Amino acid sequence: MKGILLIAHGSRVQETKEVAYGYFEDLQKKYKNCKLGFMEFNEPSIEDAVKEFLKEKVEEIVVLPLFLFEGMHIKKDIPEILEKYPIKFKILKPILYDKRVSDILFERIEKSEVY
Protein backbone atom coordinates (compact mmCIF):
# COMPACT_ATOMS: atom_id res chain seq x y z
CA MET A 1 0.00 0.00 0.00
CA LYS A 2 1.21 3.51 -0.84
CA GLY A 3 0.60 6.85 0.82
CA ILE A 4 1.13 10.47 -0.13
CA LEU A 5 2.77 12.84 2.32
CA LEU A 6 2.33 16.55 1.60
CA ILE A 7 5.04 18.49 3.42
CA ALA A 8 4.70 22.18 4.14
CA HIS A 9 7.19 24.40 5.94
CA GLY A 10 4.86 25.67 8.64
CA SER A 11 4.67 29.12 10.18
CA ARG A 12 3.56 31.00 13.25
CA VAL A 13 1.08 32.83 10.99
CA GLN A 14 -2.23 30.96 11.09
CA GLU A 15 -3.17 31.76 7.47
CA THR A 16 -0.20 29.79 6.14
CA LYS A 17 -1.48 26.68 7.88
CA GLU A 18 -4.88 27.24 6.29
CA VAL A 19 -3.27 27.42 2.82
CA ALA A 20 -1.44 24.13 3.42
CA TYR A 21 -4.68 22.49 4.56
CA GLY A 22 -6.41 23.80 1.42
CA TYR A 23 -3.91 21.96 -0.79
CA PHE A 24 -4.14 18.91 1.47
CA GLU A 25 -7.93 18.79 1.18
CA ASP A 26 -7.62 19.00 -2.62
CA LEU A 27 -5.24 16.01 -2.56
CA GLN A 28 -7.63 14.02 -0.39
CA LYS A 29 -10.39 14.48 -2.97
CA LYS A 30 -8.28 12.73 -5.62
CA TYR A 31 -6.08 10.28 -3.68
CA LYS A 32 -7.05 7.86 -0.94
CA ASN A 33 -4.24 7.74 1.58
CA CYS A 34 -2.84 11.24 2.16
CA LYS A 35 -1.32 12.91 5.16
CA LEU A 36 0.03 16.39 5.84
CA GLY A 37 3.20 17.09 7.81
CA PHE A 38 4.91 20.35 8.71
CA MET A 39 8.66 21.01 9.00
CA GLU A 40 8.17 23.32 11.96
CA PHE A 41 5.76 25.49 13.96
CA ASN A 42 2.59 23.51 13.10
CA GLU A 43 1.12 20.10 13.74
CA PRO A 44 1.15 17.40 12.66
CA SER A 45 4.89 17.15 12.25
CA ILE A 46 6.46 15.14 9.44
CA GLU A 47 7.40 12.53 12.03
CA ASP A 48 3.82 12.25 13.31
CA ALA A 49 2.49 11.79 9.78
CA VAL A 50 5.06 9.07 9.00
CA LYS A 51 4.22 7.25 12.25
CA GLU A 52 0.55 7.22 11.22
CA PHE A 53 1.51 5.66 7.87
CA LEU A 54 3.53 3.01 9.71
CA LYS A 55 0.53 2.15 11.90
CA GLU A 56 -1.48 1.67 8.71
CA LYS A 57 1.17 -0.69 7.28
CA VAL A 58 1.93 1.61 4.33
CA GLU A 59 4.90 0.22 2.40
CA GLU A 60 5.86 3.27 0.34
CA ILE A 61 5.32 7.01 0.77
CA VAL A 62 5.37 9.50 -2.08
CA VAL A 63 6.59 12.77 -0.55
CA LEU A 64 5.18 15.92 -2.14
CA PRO A 65 6.99 19.05 -0.90
CA LEU A 66 4.85 22.17 -0.93
CA PHE A 67 7.91 24.34 -1.55
CA LEU A 68 8.90 26.55 -4.47
CA PHE A 69 12.65 25.94 -4.28
CA GLU A 70 15.00 23.01 -3.80
CA GLY A 71 16.77 24.46 -0.78
CA MET A 72 18.28 22.84 2.30
CA HIS A 73 14.96 21.54 3.62
CA ILE A 74 14.47 19.55 0.41
CA LYS A 75 18.09 18.52 -0.10
CA LYS A 76 19.05 17.77 3.50
CA ASP A 77 16.49 18.23 6.27
CA ILE A 78 13.56 16.23 4.90
CA PRO A 79 15.71 13.25 3.78
CA GLU A 80 17.37 13.19 7.22
CA ILE A 81 13.99 13.09 8.94
CA LEU A 82 12.67 10.35 6.65
CA GLU A 83 15.74 8.09 6.73
CA LYS A 84 15.01 7.31 10.39
CA TYR A 85 11.98 5.24 9.40
CA PRO A 86 11.85 1.70 7.96
CA ILE A 87 9.76 2.60 4.95
CA LYS A 88 10.44 3.37 1.29
CA PHE A 89 10.18 7.05 0.35
CA LYS A 90 10.06 8.72 -3.04
CA ILE A 91 10.63 12.47 -2.67
CA LEU A 92 9.20 14.45 -5.57
CA LYS A 93 10.65 17.74 -6.78
CA PRO A 94 9.29 20.98 -5.33
CA ILE A 95 7.35 23.31 -7.61
CA LEU A 96 10.49 25.02 -8.99
CA TYR A 97 9.89 27.18 -12.10
CA ASP A 98 6.56 26.42 -13.68
CA LYS A 99 4.97 28.66 -16.29
CA ARG A 100 1.56 28.03 -14.70
CA VAL A 101 2.74 29.86 -11.58
CA SER A 102 3.78 32.81 -13.76
CA ASP A 103 0.29 32.79 -15.26
CA ILE A 104 -1.20 33.09 -11.77
CA LEU A 105 1.12 36.03 -11.07
CA PHE A 106 0.14 37.72 -14.33
CA GLU A 107 -3.54 37.25 -13.51
CA ARG A 108 -3.09 38.85 -10.11
CA ILE A 109 -1.26 41.84 -11.58
CA GLU A 110 -3.98 42.36 -14.16
CA LYS A 111 -6.73 42.15 -11.55
CA SER A 112 -4.92 44.66 -9.35
CA GLU A 113 -5.38 47.39 -11.95
CA VAL A 114 -1.74 48.36 -11.39
CA TYR A 115 -1.06 48.07 -15.12
Catalytic annotation, pick one of 3, 6, 8, 9: 9
Contact status, residue 11 vs residue 68, Cβ threshold 8 Å: no
Within the chain, where are the H helices?
14-30, 46-55, 72, 78-82, 99-112
- Please provide residue 34's backbone torsions phi and psi, each rounded to the nearest 5 degrees: -120, 150
Measuring CA to CA, how many Å separate 62 from each of 13, 53, 58, 93, 112? 27, 11, 11, 11, 37
Known catalytic membership, residue 73: no
Active site residues: 9
